[in-house]
Amino acid sequence: MNITANTRLLGILGDPVSHSLSPVMHNAAYQEMGLDLCYVPLHVSPDALADAVSGIKAMRFMGANVTIPHKVPVVPLLDRLADSAVRTGAVNTLVNSDGMLVGHNTDGAGFIRSLEERISIDYSASPVIIAGAGGAARSVGVALADRGVPRITIINRSRQRAQEFHDLLAAGFPQLEIFMMVPESDYGELMRSSPLVINATPLGMNERLKMVPLKVDAISKYHVVCDLVYGRSQETPLLVAAREKGATILGGLGMLLHQGAVAIRLWTGIEPPIEVMRRAIES
């Protein structure tokens, strides 16, 4: 990579951020596309988020991605929100439009694309369980509600965040049946009748968080279990447990790939090289 004063910067703001495969994926894409762009990991703690967002503008970044735990807190720091961000209350992509930072959300589109690459699904017959109520859960929940799933059960540690997610869904989708549970609740029956199960918490992400985020007793071969947490090689504890139960499993790499592709289209207006990006994160 030949970095000069003309090179435009992009990056990912997160805490932690060292696990992220976005830099390798994006830089592989820009190299293939012949673009003078460089994408860097930016470790930003929650108390430094506002300064970091100002820095993105001050240093004339072309844009940035935003990951855990900033997707919701970044919203009030932006100049404008695209429809995808308004509808989810969460942002994963910033576009620097002549000094104005515009927040978008490409996670929902990325998740749907990745799901449909793996299975063919009748959304109207697919109630859903989602563990988590943060930025990723909201994006995926809204995308699935958009496609007509009849019920979403939210399982989250903090009741307040679950309530916020509930209210967001209830406001946008009056027909949707919504349940809220804490992880200790007995949700076996709901899980039995929800063929789509999604982990949108960081549980399983690294050694410290190496645990199964949901009770898996009710999971069977009729389930599709998706973990948004991704790793280059090992399956997460949830996916290992779900596979043992005979379920179809889907890791987070496909979502990473497709949310990144949508972000590149927003930043450059050019179609990204999907297979080059896929190879970069899978190898």
Kindly list the strands in the beta sheet with 80-81, ordered across the sheet, starting from the edge strand earlier in the chain: 37-43, 8-14, 63-66, 93-97, 100-104, 80-81
On whether the CB atoms of residues 211 and 236 are closer than 8 A, the answer is no
Residue closer to ligand NDP by CB (options 17, 247) is 17
Cis peptide, bond prior to residue 69, ω within 30 of zero = yes
Q: How far is the CB of 108 from ligand NDP (least distance, A)?
A: 10
> Nearest-CA neighbor of 266 among 111, 64, 99?
64
Residue closer to ligand NDP by CB (options 106, 268) is 106
Question: How far is 162 from 176, CA to CA, in rounded Å?
Answer: 16
Question: How far is 19 from 273, CA to CA, in rounded Å?
Answer: 23
Query: By CB under 6 A, what part of segment 48-77 binds ligand NDP?
Result: 67-69, 71-72
Contact flag: residue 164 with ligand NDP (CB under 6 A): no
Residue closer to ligand NDP by CB (options 8, 172) is 172
Q: How far is the CB of 251 from ligand NDP (least distance, A)?
A: 8
- Region for 198 from its dihedrals, namely left if φ exceeds 0, alpha if ψ lies in -120 to 50, beta otherwise: beta
On whether the CB atoms of residues 275 and 256 are closer than 8 A, the answer is no
Q: How far is the CB of 203 from ligand NDP (least distance, A)?
A: 5
Q: How far is the CB of 89 from ligand NDP (least distance, A)?
A: 10
Residue of 28, 78, 169, 256 that binds ligand NDP (CB under 6 A): 256
| Strand blocks (E) in 110-261 | 128-131, 151-155, 177-181, 196-199, 224-227, 248-250
Residue closer to ligand NDP by CB (options 110, 127) is 110
Residue closer to ligand NDP by CB (options 22, 98) is 22
Residue closer to ligand NDP by CB (options 125, 143) is 143
Tell me which stretch binds ligand NDP (CB under 6 A): 74-82, 157-165, 215-223, 264-272: 157-165
Residue of 41, 89, 127, 132 that binds ligand NDP (CB under 6 A): 132
Task: State yes or no: is 245 an active-site residue.
Answer: no
What's the CA dihedral at 126, 139, 129, 171 to 10 degrees? -80
Encoded tokens for 258 = 């497709």
Encoded tokens for 119 = 């299975």
Q: How far is the CB of 18 from ligand NDP (least distance, A)?
A: 12
Cβ atoms within 10 Å of 273's Cβ, excluding its own: 18
Residue of 52, 56, 130, 137 that binds ligand NDP (CB under 6 A): 137
Tell me the residue nearest to ligand NDP as measured from the CB.
134
Contact flag: residue 107 with ligand NDP (CB under 6 A): yes
Question: Which residues are marked as active site?
Answer: 71
Binding positions for ligand NDP, rule: CB under 6 A: 67-69, 71-72, 107, 110, 132-137, 156-158, 161, 200-203, 205, 228-230, 252, 255-256, 259
